[in-house]
Structure 1
Amino acid sequence: MSFQVFGIPVSRGVAIGRAVLVASSRVDVEHYFIDPAGIDAEIRRALRARDEVAREFEALKQDLPGDAPHELAALLDVHLMLLHDEALLGATRQWIVERHYNAEWALSAQLEVLARQFDEMEDDYLRERKADLEQVVERILSALAAQQGRKGGGAAAVVQRDFAGEDPLLLVAADIAPADMMQFKRSVFHGFITDIGGKTSHTAIVARSMDIPAVVGTREASRLIRQDDWVIIDGDAGAVIVNPSPIVLEEYRFRQRQSELERARLARLRHTPAVTLDGERVELHANIELPADALAAVEAGATGVGLFRSEFLFMNRGGELPSEEEQFEAYKAAVEAMRGMPVTIRTVDVGADKPLDRLSASELRHEHVLNPAMGLRAIRWSLAEPSMFRQQLRAIYRASAFGKLRLLIPMVAHLNEIRQIQEAIKRVQQQLTDAGQAYTPVELGVMIEIPAAAVMLPLLLRHVDFVSIGTNDLIQYTLAIDRADESVAHLYDPWHPAVLQLIASSIAQARAAGKSVSVCGEMAGDAAFTDLLLAMGLRNFSMHPSQIPSVKQRILRADSSRLAMALPAVLASEDPEKAAELVLVSAQRTHH
């Protein structure tokens, strides 16, 4: 039966494929295809892990004391029975044979099928056995991970393989943590569907960076969609169509082809300079998460990296922080890949929607903070961990010897924070000088993402070389909205008059002070805002590489001087929709 689920469209385009359901707690299970020649070996891996867990259960039964409750032995018997049930391992074998899934992925896929069956049982006792099944599967996954020489089921590199006849796959989950999302970059999945999240939740941001369709905030998708269902993701309308009719399927396949043709047409602009009709040159920089992303930035025609999110070097590491040498090599690789173009590295921005799997002593005291978005995060965390912060600064300064580097500090709200940062920089410079290690001058910038920073910008500008406006958090904090909470996601409004006023005044003040200013939040990569930001005087945009072509096309068709004349009317508008309409009307006038 065909049905639709609606959510928030966060990454445009159409994706068609089979659903892969993954529980949030198991997203970090390895997902990759195996070669046909390796199928038998993969089945043996699964059976070895099953037998190992069976031996553990048998040993536990043998070691039970004589006065142990009878229920304990009965529970172990239930687990043994589930372990040997053909519905678990037999069906897991089928996923391996027919779909070429690796053992961990196959086991997780079958668990989702069985869990749904348990949920639909009328008998309370039988329904509650789902928890036993999950415990059994977690033990098998741990045994499989141990075979690979790891503790637990940590994420590994995702391998992309193409097999004739394989259907495209779409990931369906209640939620996906930022660290887990990173392993799906260049992965086997062609689209994402989540129950929770908003336009600027990290799942949405990574989906856009991968240039694949995604719908978030669907609330019920992971419960309604079944493993292996045929699904269409309409990333433009925020619709998910499950088991579509042949007519609907053909319509969306046609839209897919049209989208691919448009993408190819825009790609031809790659080497065209971004210059407005009235001769204003605009820098289009890229946001990247990992050094390898710099290559995609160059391919897309970026003229620099406006935001290197260094926190992703700190994630999926089992609690270990990256060493100074490891960070240095990563920053150096990004700088060298950009071939002399500037690279702006943001210091580690963890907390809120990007927690580390390591808690420091200072974080332990804040473990039960009710609102992590306003807690110990970003520069606050770095200043609370001075040795970690200095280590990152040393790595950045050492990499500066290999190209043009800029240092960007997130979530600054106090002048005292700037002074502490400058002191840390002086100390690091002295350490490098004493050690005879080369470095070059590095410009210091701050992110404007807290309203307080926007209001006190004239004071901040006296102490920094440049500013970068992070619109995602600026909107969140200005409107007091958790951007990852789908229940208030509809109130997250980039067109809100207060937001527009803060952005416009920040750009104007930075330009008046002779300091460079960029926008690196999601607004920069949304072509719907290009004319507005040009009107405000912005000449440096930073976005995901995949968004550069569409924004460049908008710039090439714009007359910035005429847009600027329309700006006062836009900022005076009472309603965001009216503001958008005015901007579009003014832009249309310049195109004729």
Structure 2
Amino acid sequence: MASFTLHGIPVSKGIAIGRAHLLAPAALDVKHYLIPDDQVEAEVLRLKNAIATVHQELQTIRSELPKEAPPELGAFIDVHALILSDPMLAEVPLNIIRHRYYNAEWALVTQIDGLSAQFDEIEDPYLRERKADIQQVGDRVLKVLTGSAINLPPAEGGDGATASIIVVAHDISPADMLQFRDGAFGGFVTDLGGQNSHTAIVARSLDIPAAVGMNNASALVKQDDVLIIDGDAGVTIVNPSPLVLAQYRARQERMLRDRKKLGRLKKTPAITQDGTEITLLANIELPTDSAPALEAGANGVGLFRSEFLFMGRAGHLEKFPTEDEQFDSYCQTVVSMKGRPVTIRTLDVGADKPLDEDEQTALNPALGLRAIRYCLSEPQMFLTQLRAILRASAFGPIKLLIPMMAHAFEVDQTLALIEQAKEQLRQRKQKFDEDIEVGAMIEIPAAALALPIFIKRLDFLSIGTNDLIQYTLAIDRVDHEVAHLYDPLHPAVLFLLSSVIAMGRKAGIPVAVCGEMAGDVKWTRLLLGMGLLEFSMHPSQLLSVKQEILNSDLTLLEPQVKKVLKATEPSVIEAAMAQLRTLNAEPEIKATAARRR
């Protein structure tokens, strides 16, 4: 069997070795035919029964979750149950059967395709990938309609190298992953997906090696092929040679040993070799993410993406959660963090569909009405969220983070609305933190270049490196045709990052980084050398970053980072970065730092 390599998007670190098990999407088996008039209601009933069966399946999976299961899993099952109950899936396909006479499978696929097209127009990558949840729920119903099984076979393989099963699929849902947990499920490879998909989030939570976004892996890989998933690189090796297999087995064993060592750092303070204390925070999407954040030793939450509360509501963002619903979620989060600060980012989505559906000109939602611009255009919705966050601040330390700031008047209008929300709560005699801190996401180059506007008005800053890089280089990093241009080491990006950190420190205003750079150990020393003292990342990345911090000495890093920042040629920057990664503190410095601690 010929060996070949597939390249995708890394979403969960680790190495998995096993045999391929292909899961075909149910939509591929859908037949299209018209129903006779006298059988329409029977076809409607068939779809209703399939939906009811999936509801029961999800309830069973939810009830059988083990106590030690990450809290995200239950929440994602709940989201799928909500989507399944939504009229956009529970009722519209029934009307398609009644009015167009489509068979049940065809009607369901038609509606899913229509909803998917709407999500493709959303700019925010986290929300855009929610399309996958709708498709996964639809695929589950289709499997019931077509009688397709989704259970894994028992793992086999006498050579000792294939003890695990590697699922290869067009896409895979968190619910499917839970059903596989009792088998020898070693990892998964999918054609679809990205960093922010629910499947990716669950994979990281469960430490399941995975590679997604491989386009045509499910077509190229054959049943029972031997696979190696290199989760760190997002690479899958199909039918590796004995030498490559042996090399990866050795790497796998070494990684398992290293993970055990990392676990010992949970209670160790993040202090550099020269005695500088670094704050490590967690990025979370759900209130129940607090548990893994605490387990990883996070000093608090640096980014709570509140968009999750607005998802899966009648298929549209127009139906907003109530103030009490939001308050309950924010309060649950802040209480569970046991006194550690929680930074809540206000709604970061946008009105990114054309006003006229027949309009042929494609709008650019990245530059349109989104994030704080959208919130200021919907003041009642924004006030509802602000009141909910303020009310939760009575139960623990909360910081308000405003996304996509660029203008002074946006800051002023936001602060005025926060004051209005406070006054409304005073009139209700509801408690809140009168001195709640308010900060801005620095993710637009204009904001980074006009930083005094924000330093003068706000309490803290948080750099969103994902968007800052994207806007600085004018590329969409999820567009495969230009994704290779996404470069954190571009001189313009380095200049903006370093200047924001330096100006913030000079003004005495805290600066954090909450984008992907914060959780990638490749950039830890670079950010430390720029003067960054607060990192916010996914909980699963925290211990690796902490280890890098413990092995770093700012007195050595800072001069080398200056060389990186002065360089403009890519080759010179890479050479300076390579030297930065090899810097080690002298033994006597380590001893001095140890005595300080």
Structure 2 length normalisation: TM-score?
0.71
How far off is 1:315 after superposition? 1.5
Alignment of 1:559 with 2:516, yes or no, is: no
**Structure-2 change in CA distance of 1:242 and 1:450 (3 Å):** same
Q: Is the 8 A contact 1:217 1:486 kept in 2?
A: no
**Structure-2 change in CA distance of 1:590 and 1:461 (3 Å):** same
Residues of 1 paired with 2:436 and 2:27: CA distance?
41
Q: Is the 8 A contact 2:393 2:436 kept in 1?
A: yes
How far off is 1:326 after superposition? 1.4
Q: Is the 8 A contact 2:270 2:550 kept in 1?
A: yes
Residues of 2 paired with 1:425 and 1:476: CA distance?
29
For residues 138-157 of structure 1, give each alpha carbon's deviation from its aligned partner in whole angstroms, at most 9, with x where no partner exists. Answer: 49999xxxxxxx9x95799x
Unaligned runs of 5+ in 1: 27-49, 64-75, 84-88, 90-95, 106-130, 143-149
**Which one of 25, 29, 35 corresponds to residue 57 of structure 1?**
35
Partner of 1:509: 503
For residues 538-571 of structure 1, give each alpha carbon's deviation from its aligned partner in whole angstroms, at most 9, with x where no partner exists. Answer: 0000011111111111111111122112222111
Q: Is the 8 A contact 1:344 1:407 kept in 2?
A: yes
Provide the aligned C-alpha RMSD in A.
4.3
**Structure-2 change in CA distance of 1:140 and 1:324 (3 Å):** closer
Partner of 2:335: 336
**Which one of 268, 288, 296 corresponds to residue 272 of structure 1?**
268
Partner of 2:544: 550
Residues of 2 paired with 1:163 and 1:567: CA distance?
50
- Output aligned runs, 1:520-535, within 5 Å: 520-535=514-529
Residues of 2 paired with 1:466 and 1:325: CA distance?
27
**Structure-2 change in CA distance of 1:305 and 1:477 (3 Å):** same
**Which one of 367, 371, 392 corresponds to residue 378 of structure 1?**
371
Percent identity, please.
Answer: 49
- Output aligned runs, 1:73-92, within 5 Å: none
Q: Is the 8 A contact 1:210 1:546 kept in 2?
A: no
- Output aligned runs, 1:385-464, within 5 Å: 385-440=378-433, 441-464=435-458
Unaligned runs of 5+ in 2: 51-56, 62-76, 78-101, 114-133, 141-149, 156-163, 587-597
Range moving further from structure 2, 501-510 or 580-589: 580-589
**Which one of 307, 310, 320 corresponds to residue 311 of structure 1?**
307
**Structure-2 change in CA distance of 1:535 and 1:409 (3 Å):** same
Residues of 1 paired with 2:538 and 2:393: CA distance?
23
Q: Classify the secondary structure of the residue corresponding to 2:523.
A: helix
How far off is 1:186 after superposition? 11
Residues of 2 paired with 1:446 and 1:415: CA distance?
11
Query: Which amino acid in the other structure matches residue 6 of structure 1?
Result: L
Q: Is the 8 A contact 2:442 2:461 kept in 1?
A: yes
Partner of 2:209: 213
For residues 473-532 of structure 1, give each alpha carbon's deviation from its aligned partner in whole angstroms, at most 9, with x where no partner exists. Answer: 111110111011111111111111110110000000111111000000000011111111
**Which one of 257, 261, 277 corresponds to residue 261 of structure 1?**
257
Alignment of 1:4 with 2:4, yes or no, is: yes
For residues 342-401 of structure 1, give each alpha carbon's deviation from its aligned partner in whole angstroms, at most 9, with x where no partner exists. Answer: 10001111249xx8xxx8x97989997533222222212222222111111111000000
Residues of 2 paired with 1:542 and 1:250: CA distance?
36
Q: Classify the secondary structure of the residue corresponding to 1:273.
A: coil
Residues of 1 paired with 2:398 and 2:179: CA distance?
27
Q: Is the 8 A contact 2:165 2:187 kept in 1?
A: no
Residues of 1 paired with 2:554 and 2:166: CA distance?
43
- Output aligned runs, 1:170-249, within 5 Å: 170=167, 172-173=169-170, 191=187, 193-195=189-191, 208=204, 211-225=207-221, 231-242=227-238
Alignment of 1:541 with 2:535, yes or no, is: yes
Query: Which amino acid in the other structure matches residue 240 of structure 1?
Result: T
Residues of 2 paired with 1:168 and 1:519: CA distance?
37
Q: Classify the secondary structure of the residue corresponding to 1:523.
A: helix
Partner of 1:126: none
**Structure-2 change in CA distance of 1:378 and 1:283 (3 Å):** same
**Structure-2 change in CA distance of 1:199 and 1:437 (3 Å):** closer
Query: Which amino acid in the other structure matches residue 384 of structure 2?
Result: Q
For residues 311-355 of structure 1, give each alpha carbon's deviation from its aligned partner in whole angstroms, at most 9, with x where no partner exists. Answer: 112222333432211111111111111110110001111249xx8
Q: Classify the secondary structure of the residue corresponding to 1:284.
A: strand
Q: Classify the secondary structure of the residue corresponding to 2:522.
A: helix
Range moving further from structure 2, 2-11 or 507-516: 2-11
Structure 1 length normalisation: TM-score?
0.71
Q: Classify the secondary structure of the residue corresponding to 2:584.
A: helix
Query: Which amino acid in the other structure matches residue 301 of structure 1?
Result: G
Residues of 1 paired with 2:554 and 2:211: CA distance?
33
How far off is 1:458 after superposition? 1.2
Residues of 2 paired with 1:182 and 1:497: CA distance?
43
How far off is 1:237 after superposition? 3.7
Q: Is the 8 A contact 2:494 2:565 kept in 1?
A: yes
Q: Is the 8 A contact 1:445 1:465 kept in 2?
A: yes
- State the aligned residue count: 486
Query: Which amino acid in the other structure matches residue 57 of structure 1?
Result: I
Q: Classify the secondary structure of the residue corresponding to 1:467.
A: strand
Partner of 1:30: none
Alignment of 1:518 with 2:515, yes or no, is: no
